[in-house]
């Protein structure tokens, strides 16, 4: 395992620019044009929200750690940069990604327990009646990711920077929540973990901790972005001092400030889209191609 992100396979092979990512996805869609036209799908971020909710349903009864859940989300995102989603059964991919992530994060779950939770989440999916399906899918996942399975997450960077910025317990909790939510975007395969951690800290310092929770409000993040770019407009003197200190630190560091701003804008976009998320619509659109193509057998 590479001790440093900079020497890792994650940086060398699984970090894209937005343009590269768009090109990869366009290639996949062009190669499967008939399927794409026949089975339209919702906004990619809506799919990510749906996938996260399904993974959480499986993970909660098994007491799976948050980092393993995050690893599973990244595996799914990586996999679908290589494989057209309409050629797969997303339920099977999600269950397998979680099973594999638990092994890689050293909190393994017995395959039969994962299968049982998957069967509970997707009761009508008969592919979960056969334990070998997860084994076969695991081989495919590993193959498509070229056995490059070690991930570096922003949680470690957050822990290291927490004392430097003197984060309160509430601010640290809010920053952790923002990191959790960023896995619903493409940010984990575009930006380094430390940039994500600094983005989360920046938002946690500027946003009121009472705005925390599984979803922050887009309006609150927009205000946070304006405050970070214009720190002297902070509401109170105490808040202004903390924001100025953060902005000064960013200016003196080697952190790409433009990347931090881009991450904040992406989180704002996510929360705006989240407000219009319709779980039933996502389920129906996925079920349509899964049933029609017999992928749940």
Q: Do residues 288 and 251 both lie within one domain?
A: no
Q: Do residues 270 and 162 both lie within one domain?
A: yes
Given a contact cutoff of 8 angstroms between Cβ atoms, the answer to whether 228 and 206 are in contact is: yes
Q: Do residues 142 and 174 both lie within one domain?
A: no
Task: Tell whether the model's pLDDT for residue 26 goes beyond 80.
Answer: yes
Q: Do residues 159 and 224 both lie within one domain?
A: yes
Q: Do residues 162 and 259 both lie within one domain?
A: yes
Q: Do residues 28 and 72 both lie within one domain?
A: yes
- pLDDT attached to residue 219: 54
Q: What is the pLDDT of residues 81-107, one digit of tens each?
A: 999 999 999 999 999 999 999 999 999
d(CA 59, CA 235): 40
- Binned at pLDDT 50, 70 and 90, residue 255 comes out as confident
- pLDDT attached to residue 212: 47
Region of poorest pLDDT, from 195-204, 246-255, 285-294: 246-255
Instruction: Name the percent of the chain lying above pLDDT 70.
Output: 88
Given a contact cutoff of 8 angstroms between Cβ atoms, the answer to whether 33 and 207 are in contact is: no
CATH number of the domain to which 72 belongs:
1.10.472.10
Q: How many domains in the chain?
A: 2
Mean pLDDT comparison of 89-103, 115-129, 247-261, highest-scoring range: 89-103
Mean pLDDT of 56-74: 96
Which H/E stretch holds residue 89?
Answer: none
Q: What is the pLDDT of residues 129-163, one digit of tens each?
A: 888 999 999 999 999 999 999 999 999 999 999 88
Domain, as residue range, for 169 = 154-274
Q: Do residues 229 and 210 both lie within one domain?
A: yes
Query: Mapped to the 3 state alphabet, what secondary structure does 108-123 carry?
Result: CCCHHHHHHHHHHHCC
Q: Do residues 186 and 202 both lie within one domain?
A: yes
d(CA 166, CA 242): 10
**Residue corresponding to tokens 């594999």:** 100
> How many other CB atoms are found less than 10 A from the CB of residue 9?
17
């Amino acid at each position: 395992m590479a001790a440093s992100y900079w020497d890792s396979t994650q940086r060398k092979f699984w970090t894209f620019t937005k343009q590269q990512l768009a090109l990869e996805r366009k290639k996949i869609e062009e190669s499967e044009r008939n399927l794409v036209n026949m089975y339209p799908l919702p906004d990619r971020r809506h799919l990510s929200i749906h996938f996260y909710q399904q993974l959480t349903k499986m993970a909660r009864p098994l007491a799976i750690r948050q980092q393993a859940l995050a690893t599973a989300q990244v595996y799914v995102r990586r996999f679908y940069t290589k494989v057209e989603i309409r050629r797969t059964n997303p339920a099977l991919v999600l269950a397998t990604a979680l099973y594999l992530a638990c092994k890689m994060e050293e909190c393994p779950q017995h395959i039969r327990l994962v299968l049982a939770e998957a069967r509970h989440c997707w009761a009508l999916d008969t592919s979960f009646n056969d334990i070998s399906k997860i084994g076969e899918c695991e081989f495919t996942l590993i193959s498509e990711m070229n056995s490059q399975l070690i991930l570096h997450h922003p949680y470690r960077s957050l822990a290291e920077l927490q004392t430097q910025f003197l984060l309160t317990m509430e601010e640290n909790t809010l920053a952790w929540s923002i990191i959790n939510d960023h896995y619903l975007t493409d940010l984990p395969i575009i930006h380094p973990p430390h940039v994500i951690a600094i983005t989360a800290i920046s938002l946690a310092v500027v946003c009121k901790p009472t705005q925390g929770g599984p979803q922050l409000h887009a309006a609150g993040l927009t205000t946070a972005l304006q405050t970070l770019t214009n720190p002297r407009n902070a509401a109170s003197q105490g808040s202004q001092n903390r924001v100025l200190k953060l902005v000064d630190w960013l200016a003196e560091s080697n952190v790409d400030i433009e990347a931090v701003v881009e991450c904040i804008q992406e989180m704002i976009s996510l929360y705006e889209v989240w407000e219009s998320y319709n779980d039933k619509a996502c389920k129906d659109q996925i079920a349509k191609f899964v049933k029609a193509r017999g992928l749940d057998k």
